[in-house]
């Protein structure tokens, strides 16, 4: 059974924007290390965002690496975009409850976005964090407006 193309697009987008930090079109440990480093520079070593990111990123990486084919791990230690999609599809198709790595992903994204730590994400925080990922202010702002409307 094929996965909904909207979902697939969403996972691809997350892969490209949030995880493939070095833009190599595959995930390596380096992507995760670079990401943690960016957050450290922006929020500081003692920040909750950095501590959560470091812990979560490690859990996500381990799950992603486990989902990659054996050859990839042995030869390149990489996770391709297809393997990334397969990892998410498996969850959806099996209708499983969230795995540890998925909870880690949610913790990570939320803590990163909630810069003030008040358990809410406002537009300014969202735009600032998206800038960290190279997403333009206007683009991030209009994306925020769209999903803020949907969730009201």
Return the bridge partners of 26, or none: 80
Look at phi and psi of residue 95 and say left if phi exceeds 0, alpha if psi is from -120 to 50, else beta: left
Handedness of CA 18, 23, 29, 33 (dihedral sign): negative
The answer to whether 109 touches 53, Cβ cutoff 8 Å, is no
Interface map 29-48 toward Ca ion (x if CB under 5 A): --x-----------------
Which residue's CB atom is positioned nearest to Ca ion?
24
**One residue of 17, 24, 76, 98 binding Ca ion per CB under 5 A:** 24
The verdict on 20 binding Ca ion (CB under 5 A) reads yes
The stretch among 8-16, 18-26, 35-43, 127-135 that binds Ca ion (CB under 5 A) is 18-26
**One residue of 22, 41, 124, 137 binding Ca ion per CB under 5 A:** 22
Q: With contacts defined by CB under 5 A, how many residues of the chain interact with Ca ion?
A: 4
Q: Which whole-number Å values give the CA distances from 53 to 56, 73, 121, in the listed order?
A: 5, 23, 17
Structure-token pair, residue 126: 């969202």
The stretch among 16-24, 83-91, 131-139, 141-149 that binds Ca ion (CB under 5 A) is 16-24
- Residues making contact with Ca ion (CB under 5 A): 20, 22, 24, 31
């Amino acid at each position: 059974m094929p996965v909904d193309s909207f979902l697939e697009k969403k996972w691809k987008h997350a892969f490209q924007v949030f995880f493939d930090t070095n833009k190599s079109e595959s995930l390596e440990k380096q992507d995760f290390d670079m990401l943690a480093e960016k957050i450290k520079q922006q929020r500081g070593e003692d920040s909750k965002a950095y501590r959560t990111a470091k812990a979560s990123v490690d859990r996500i990486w381990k799950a992603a690496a486990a989902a990659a084919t054996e050859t990839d791990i042995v030869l390149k230690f990489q996770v391709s975009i297809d393997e990334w999609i397969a990892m998410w599809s498996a969850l959806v198709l099996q209708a499983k409850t969230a795995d540890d790595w998925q909870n880690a992903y949610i913790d990570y994204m939320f803590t990163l976005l909630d810069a003030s730590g008040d358990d809410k994400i406002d537009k300014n925080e969202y735009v600032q964090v998206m800038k960290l990922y190279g997403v333009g202010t206007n683009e991030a702002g209009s994306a925020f407006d769209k999903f803020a409307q949907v969730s009201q």
